[in-house]
C-alpha cells in the first residue's frame, strides 16, 4: 500500500486535533451558539456552487429520506461540535482530544446495541479498560471522586458529544442511503444550520470581527469541508477500519498543538487516562473475535 494513501487520514486527524485548540480560542472571542451556527453557514456558502446541482438532481430521494438526514445533521453536526464549543469553556483542549478519541470505541459498543452486531472480545475488554481511563481523566487522577459527582462540566459534555458522534456513525451505517457523499454532507449541514438557528437567535449573537473571523473560517472550511474530503478519500483508499486507527493519534496531536499554542501542560493523569483509553480503542479494533461460540464459528468460517 503506497505511503501516500496515509496522508489523507493523517491530514484529517491533524485538522480535527487543531480544532480542539480552536475550540479553546473561541472562549471569550465568540459565543458557542454563534460559532456553532456560523461555521455551517460558511460551509454551506462554500459548498453551494459545487454541490447544489447534484442536490437538485437527487431531490426525490432527499424528500423521502429527509427525517433521517435531519436526525443525522442533529447528531453529527449540531450536537457533536455545538457541545464541544460549550465544553471548551470548562475543560482543556488536551482533555477534549482524549475524550474525542473514544468515538471509535463507543461506535463498537453502540453497534452491538443498535445494529445487533455480536460483541467482540476486544469490544468488551477494551470498553472496560477505556471506561476506567475515562474515569481517571474525569476524576483528574482520582476515579473515586466521580462517586461525589465531582466532574468538570466540560468533560461531561465532551462525553455526551462523543456519544452523539458515535451514534451518528452507527445510524449512518444503519440508514444506508443511495445518495452521493457530498450531497449527504450538504443536506445534513443544511438541517444542522436550521436546528442551530434558534440557539443563535436566542443566545448572545457575537458580531463577526477581526478577532473571531479566522476562528469561524477554520471551523467552517478546514474542519468541516477539507476534513470531510480527506476522510472520504481515506476510506475509499484504505478502508474505514484502517482509517479509524488514525483517530488514535488525536490525543497526541491535540496535546502537542495545545502545548504549542495554549501553553497547556500534561499531568500524570493525562498520560494514564489517555493511555488507558488508547489501549481500549486499539483492543476494540484488533481483538475482533466474537464472544459467543455461535458467532465465533461464523467468524472463523468466513474467508
More confident residue, 69 or 300: 69
- The pLDDT of residue 34 is 94
Helix, strand and coil in the chain, % to nearest 5 = 80, 0, 20
Domain contains 21: yes
Alpha-carbon distance of 72 to 195, in angstroms, equals 11
Alpha-carbon distance of 75 to 187, in angstroms, equals 13
* Residue 303 predicted with pLDDT over 60: no
- The pLDDT of residue 150 is 64
Domain contains 297: no
Alpha-carbon distance of 297 to 54, in angstroms, equals 45
Alpha-carbon distance of 142 to 226, in angstroms, equals 39
| Tens-place pLDDT, residues 26-62 | 988 999 999 999 999 999 999 999 999 999 999 999 9
Residue 213 burial (C-beta neighbours within 10 Å; 0-12, 13-18, 19+): middle
DSSP code of residue 73: H
Domain contains 300: no
Alpha-carbon distance of 36 to 31, in angstroms, equals 9
Grid coordinates representing 200? 443563535
Domain contains 291: no
Domain contains 276: yes
Domain extent, residue 16, equals: 3-286
Query: How does the average pLDDT of the chain come out, rounded?
Result: 84
Q: How confident is the model at residue 216 (pLDDT cuts 50, 70, 90)?
A: very high
* Residue 293 predicted with pLDDT over 60: no
Domain contains 303: no
* Residue 298 predicted with pLDDT over 60: no
| Tens-place pLDDT, residues 96-120 | 887 887 787 787 778 878 878 777 7
Alpha-carbon distance of 76 to 38, in angstroms, equals 16
Spell out the residues 6+ positions from residue 154 whose beta carbon is closer than 8 angstroms to its own: 86, 87, 88, 89, 90, 91, 95, 96
More confident residue, 292 or 136: 136
Q: How confident is the model at residue 300 (pLDDT cuts 50, 70, 90)?
A: very low
DSSP code of residue 224: I
Question: In the predicted model, what is the mean pLDDT of residues 200-209?
Answer: 90
Total domains in the chain come to 1
Domain contains 187: yes
Domain contains 11: yes
Amino acid at each position: 500500500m503506497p505511503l501516500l494513501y496515509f496522508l489523507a487520514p493523517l491530514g484529517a486527524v491533524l485538522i480535527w486535533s487543531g480544532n480542539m485548540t480552536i475550540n479553546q480560542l473561541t472562549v471569550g472571542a465568540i459565543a458557542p451558539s454563534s460559532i456553532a451556527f456560523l461555521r455551517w453557514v460558511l460551509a454551506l456558502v462554500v459548498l453551494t456552487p459545487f454541490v447544489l446541482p447534484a442536490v437538485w438532481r437527487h431531490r426525490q430521494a432527499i424528500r423521502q429520506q429527509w427525517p433521517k438526514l435531519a436526525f443525522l445533521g442533529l447528531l453529527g453536526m449540531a450536537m457533536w461540535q455545538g457541545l464541544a464549543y460549550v465544553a471548551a469553556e470548562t475543560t482543556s483542549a488536551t482533555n477534549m482530544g482524549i475524550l474525542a478519541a473514544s468515538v471509535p470505541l463507543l461506535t463498537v459498543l453502540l453497534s452491538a446495541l443498535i445494529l445487533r452486531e455480536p460483541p467482540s472480545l476486544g469490544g468488551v475488554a477494551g470498553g472496560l479498560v477505556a471506561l476506567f481511563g475515562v474515569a481517571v481523566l474525569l476524576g483528574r487522577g482520582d476515579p473515586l471522586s466521580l462517586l461525589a459527582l465531582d466532574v468538570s462540566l466540560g468533560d461531561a459534555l465532551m462525553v455526551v458529544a462523543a456519544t452523539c458522534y458515535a451514534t451518528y456513525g452507527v445510524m449512518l451505517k444503519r440508514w444506508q442511503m443511495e445518495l452521493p457523499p457530498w450531497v449527504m454532507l450538504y443536506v445534513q449541514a443544511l438541517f444542522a444550520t436550521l436546528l442551530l438557528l434558534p440557539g443563535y437567535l436566542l443566545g448572545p449573537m457575537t458580531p463577526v470581527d477581526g478577532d473571531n473571523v479566522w476562528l469561524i473560517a477554520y471551523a467552517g472550511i478546514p474542519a468541516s469541508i477539507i476534513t470531510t474530503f480527506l476522510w472520504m478519500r481515506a476510506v475509499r483508499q484504505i478502508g474505514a477500519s484502517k482509517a479509524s486507527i488514525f483517530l488514535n493519534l488525536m490525543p497526541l496531536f491535540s496535546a502537542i498543538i495545545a502545548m504549542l499554542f495554549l501553553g497547556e501542560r500534561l499531568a500524570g493523569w493525562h498520560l494514564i487516562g489517555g493511555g488507558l483509553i488508547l489501549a481500549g480503542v486499539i483492543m476494540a479494533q484488533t481483538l475482533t473475535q466474537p464472544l459467543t461460540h455461535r458467532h465465533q464459528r461464523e467468524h472463523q468460517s468466513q474467508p
